[in-house]
Structure 1
């Protein structure tokens, strides 16, 4: 330890108050001990720290070792027994007990003061450092969990890639060079499979088909998808159907290219001719037709739907939720999906379809749920019924009697009373219809009617519809 060269002249004649101020400023907690190790005085650098030791006055006269945690007493005794150090003081970790019995970590050092055997304990609060260390540990654990999930996901996708029965290649989008080939692709290319990594994709095809493959990759990169291309391999002269998609990895764009081998008879592994004609008919039929995934996001749609939705291309609709255009958002499509999941099909469901440019059509929907690759998907046939008169709704018996009673009141009561009674009858019919459409889901019915749930409950109570006890208890 390097001491001051001339403390008596540089520091001047310091009195006890000035010395105490220096000691208190040098540490978060400062204790003055007598020759026996008992606490004679103490100071804190802040009021907040003093409140942590709210009964510190009781320390005066007690040995310092009695105010620390049991595991820290040997450290305190060792610090007090050692001779005054000429070198730099040794700092030890001590757990100081507060009045509530909790341990507060301090980094302590003991220094002699004066000629009467008294010593000063300098303590630094380690809680900020401990909190930073704890945060560092939590961040490290979080990173390890994320890395573990990434490794598991990579393992799963790697396994799928290796086990795929279709030949699959992964290309660098910039150079179009092959980076990886799964075992099916290696079997397809046979003897040249070992030379596949680093090879340009176009080189594996016959010269007359390379332009078509290049156009496929360019279209997929710009538009996101493209129709499959039929091409012939350069070695073996085997015909294949080539499809491609893009994905990003580590900031770079990659192609995933899949091959479908054409059969020996010269026919690709495609749908039968009758099914192909059916798909063509669905594409040009005047009624809209949409296929969605299990979350009601559009997978494909025909031209009639694009016209009704007022979008210019299928790309603008693909991946978008169906309720962006159909019915009241978040209500009617959810009702349709609920019925499709439970019943498998829905017929003649009346709704509205909104266009991107503000147009609106009254439509009638029939839908069906089918399984595709182990996952459900939904098909919606949507017909514009705006010009067509709807069939009259069959009213319940009580509602029919109310209409007849209103007719009998004409001429007996004022018109405003008749209007009020008719409004109540219509309101009841609308509520009953909404409850029926939503399968008695009152939250969805309230949203469909543009009411709050509380307002719906008031009207249900007014008309005596349903049992309100359970629902009101939940609110």
Structure 2
């Protein structure tokens, strides 16, 4: 019906209808030159006006829109409208580009193309406002997060004990470390509890009355109450404030007669370190000992601390130079070391396995390193000639990497393999040493020498008995 009605219109009426139904309509010839233009949207004529007439359509658009104009011209067919494409025209007034959405239809039996367009400036402005609103929201969110971060830092670092309490339930929702220390409890054990439970019965009633009065009048006088668990008296101040849809109470505590602090004074801490059963030693950056406790002196077989001061820690700690170097390198790079297994060599030949924990203290006028040395339980292990302990397992060998030289590690590995082979051969042959020597491809004398070397079995009279059996 619509097509029949339109077909009865004369060309002038059809042109008027097209111009009225679109924001912009163009007539483009076969060379792509604009021969006629009609503008229905406000402001478009000022942006283009007569400047488009006589120019190629492709020359009126921005560089990124030129391929789209070429596609519209190429796709234009007599009986089908092309798909809509958005192109941008540079503003004649020097403003932002003018976005227009175009579709094209080729005139039958003619090379001219009718192009209709829809003005997208309103949509573009709406998208621009949406983008600006989104950016404003992002900025506001960043400011809120920054403010919250500052609040959290101040809340956590404040020296004044502070609690945030839900006004409806009286339950603690937040507490800073200063308040947790004053109450003598962990933070997680206080959050969620009723505020009045943190005070002794008499004080709890007073605090309860304070909270009731605060909710009714919005104001309350400070009061003094005794804290639970004999933590002493404290002055309690409360302030009501609104947060989101609820009411909260800011509670401040001030200790009147603080309970004795459980941490010993500094002089006491030094006495504890001196009496520790584990070795403790402090060195400077050059690895020279500044101080050591009695347990370290026992490990190093020294009589007085004066014998250790000024000496290099490597004199007593570590199997080889590479091991102590690896320890100090790790300590310098990471600031702390834990579970570092090594040995302490005494002045008179004693050898104790220890586990080292160390920390670097870079600040202050005198940077230093602190070490604790915990003695490990003694384990019975095969010892090669010369008193050198053999590795106990493959895991033990891998632990030696970085602590001993590769040459020493290969030597100890070879000894371990020989000992394991001899033990396995003896186990398979039920302690028949002649058969074990033959299984390993060794002479009996060589087999006995290796058994003697690794301390395996009882060789008293064995060689003579075997020689007599021959």
* Alignment match of 2:190 (pick from 196, 220, 225): 196
TM-score, normalising length: structure 2: 0.51
Question: In terms of mean alpha carbon deviation, does 38-47 or 78-87 score higher?
Answer: 78-87
Give the 3 Å change call, closer, same or farther, for CA 120–180 of structure 1 in structure 2.
same
**Structure 1 equivalent of residue 22 of structure 2:** 27
Q: CA deviation at 1:62?
A: 2.8
Matched, 1:165 2:159: yes
User: Could you give the per-residue CA deviations for residues 247-300 of structure 1, whole angstroms, max 9, x where no partner exists?
Assistant: 22222211111111122699xxxxxxxxxxxxxxxxxxxxxxxxxxxxxxxxxx
1:34-433 aligned within 5 A: 34-46=29-41, 48-54=43-49, 56=50, 58-82=51-75, 84=77, 89-97=82-90, 99-100=92-93, 103-191=97-185, 193-236=187-230, 238-263=232-257
**Rg larger in structure:** 2
2:177 touches 2:187 (CA, 8 Å); kept in 1? Answer: no
Equivalents in 2 of 1:227, 1:91: separation in Å?
A: 73
Number of the residue aligned with 1:316: none
Indicate if the aligned counterparts of 2:65 and 2:87 stay in contact, CA closer than 8 A. yes
Query: In structure 2, do the counterparts of structure 1 residues 199 and 99 end up closer, same or farther at CA, with 3 Å as the change threshold?
Result: closer
Report the Cα distance in structure 2 between the residues aligned to 1:178 and 1:117, rounded to whole angstroms: 82
Shift, 1:108, TM fit: 1.4
Aligned counterparts of 1:110 and 1:19: Cα–Cα separation in 2 = 16
Supply the distance in 1 between the matched residues of 2:42 and 2:157 (Cα, whole angstroms). Answer: 67
Change (3 A) 1:190 1:94: same
CA distance in structure 1 between the partners assigned to 2:247 and 2:77 by the alignment: 68
Distance 1:101-1:147 versus aligned 2 partners, 3 A rule: closer
TM-score under structure 1 length normalisation: 0.50
Q: Within 2, Cα distance between the matches of 1:61 and 1:264?
A: 93
Between 1:257-266 and 1:200-209, the stretch displaced more is 257-266
| 1:82 Cα offset (Å) | 2.6
**Cα gap change, 1:145 to 1:24, in 2 (>3 Å):** same
* Deviation, structure 1 residue 101: 5.9
Rounded to whole Å, the distance in 1 between the matches of 2:66 and 2:188 is: 70
- Judged with a 3 Å threshold, the aligned counterparts in structure 2 of structure 1 residues 87 and 213 are, in CA distance, closer, same or farther, namely farther
Q: Secondary structure at the match of 1:176?
A: coil
Deviation at 1:185, TM superposition (A): 1.6
Distance in 2, matches of 1:189 and 1:86, equals: 86
Q: Could you report, residue by residue, the CA deviation over 1:55-96 in whole angstroms, capped at 9, with x for unpaired residues?
A: x1x533332122223332232122212353977632222222
Q: Provide structure 1 residue ranges, at least 5 long, that are not aligned to the other structure.
A: 1-5, 267-475
Q: Distance in 2 between matches of 1:248 and 1:263?
A: 32
2:438 paired residue number: none
The alignment partner of 2:98 has SS state of strand
In structure 2, relative to structure 1, the CA distance for the partners of 1:151 and 1:126 (3 Å cut) is: same
1:38/1:14 CA distance change after superposition, 3 Å: same
Unaligned runs of 5+ in 2: 261-470
Counterpart of 1:15 in structure 2 is: 10
Residues 1:97 and 1:258: Cα distance change in structure 2 (over 3 Å): closer
